[in-house]
Amino acid sequence: MNLARPAPLIAAVLLFSQSAHAGSPEHGRNLAENWCSSCHVVSAGQSPSGRSAPPFTAIAQSSDFSADRLAYLLLDPHPKMAKLGLSRKAIEDIADYIKSLKQ
């Protein structure tokens, strides 16, 4: 039995599955500007809304920020936050955008 032949196939599957799960910070920024900017400051050029929601830069700097926690929050938002009905991919993209703001 030749075990070397499946190796390229396995490598391709692993590479594809990793890239399929990689978020898009640019898409996340676009989503955040459309869905989140009424309460949060999501990008540098935006003026504060006057609401008490933290800016995305503050969320990114938080020591307990993680994409998993953000996904949980967005899938089951707290009472002050509207249910957005975002897909897991959209949530992943928003999380990657917020991660990109970490300095």
Q: CA–CA separation, 4 vs 64, rounded Å? A: 43
DSSP codes joined into one string, 74-89: HHS--TTSPP----HH
Q: Would you state the pLDDT for residue 32?
A: 94
Query: Average pLDDT for residues 68-83, to the nearest whole number?
Result: 77
Q: Would you state the pLDDT for residue 98?
A: 94
10-55 residue pLDDT tens:
444 444 334 444 679 999 999 999 989 988 999 988 988 777 789 9
Q: Across all residues in the chain, what is the average pLDDT? A: 78
Fold of 24-100: Cytochrome Bc1 Complex; Chain D, domain 2 (1.10.760)
Q: CA–CA separation, 92 vs 13, rounded Å? A: 21
